[in-house]
Chains A and B, each alone.
Chain A
């Protein structure tokens, strides 16, 4: 039996909004560690990894590891029926073919439940080893979102370079080209407004902007984003989910013809 009670239901709503445009169907895995998901987009260019740790739930019961295949668009539709202040409980029976989402409003005078059929998904799980990255940049998530949006009005791809000068985002298109440099800046009022650059080695990689724009749907989950880059690896954009875990997006680079 599975029963997960999340007081801050809005988190789950935001998580679904962050993933549903990138991934259509995915398996949610539930174990003693937490509620997790790993899925690739249909073209296998990007991957999303979600972890909501068991400690972050008010009540977490998972008698045995369970995998639940769901259409993320349908889950998102159901979660739109939950208020932002609602408590969300996810329930499933071992071996059952449905999952139930229950929403309780803060006054506890309205309780809704939605039962959804699970899907049998044949999804591939990739092993992602810990890696040493050439550069790790932490910056305000809203700033990153703004940069991706602004550059995609000019070009389709972005070259992200990290040097001692800072992190540079460059694009080119029919109307011209653009460069945005963010320097390290730790003299800010709040730590989440800082741009912090850790660089072991200069790195420069090219990425498709449409995927980065899709990742920025997670902006409301975290005030900061951490971008990890290595010349031999996909980019990782990590949004921490306060007290619970993270949502990480991996993006394979583009290379010269």
Chain B
């Protein structure tokens, strides 16, 4: 149930 978001949608590469 629901859509799993990804960590990379919140934090950017450095």
Contacts and interface: CB of A to CB of B under 8 A. Distances in A.
Interface of A: 40, 43-47, 124-128, 156-157, 206, 208, 233-234, 250-257
B11 to A, nearest CB: 4
A254 B2 contact: yes
Contacts of A233: 10
B10 A44 contact: no
Place the interface of chain B in its size category.
10 to 19
Contacts of A40: 7-8
A128 B2 contact: no
A43 B13 CA distance: 16
The 10 closest A-B pairs by CB, nearest first: A254-B2, A126-B11, A252-B5, A127-B14, A44-B6, A47-B7, A252-B7, A254-B4, A125-B14, A124-B13
A46 B4 CA distance: 11
Interface of B: 1-14
Contacts of A44: 6-8
A157 B13 CA distance: 28
Given A124-B13, A157-B1, 10 more contacts: A40-B7, A44-B8, A127-B11, A128-B11, A250-B7, A252-B5, A255-B5, A256-B2, A256-B3, A257-B2
Nearest to B8: A44
Contacts of B13: 124-127
A126 B4 contact: no
Contacts of A206: 2
6 contacts: A47-B7, A124-B8, A206-B2, A234-B7, A254-B1, A257-B3
Most buried by A among B8, B11, B13: B11
A255 B3 contact: yes
A251 B1 CA distance: 17
A252 B12 contact: no
Nearest to A232: B10
B4 to A, nearest CB: 5
A252 B6 contact: yes
Contacts of A250: 7, 11
Nearest to B11: A126
Given A125-B13, A126-B14, A208 B8 contact: no
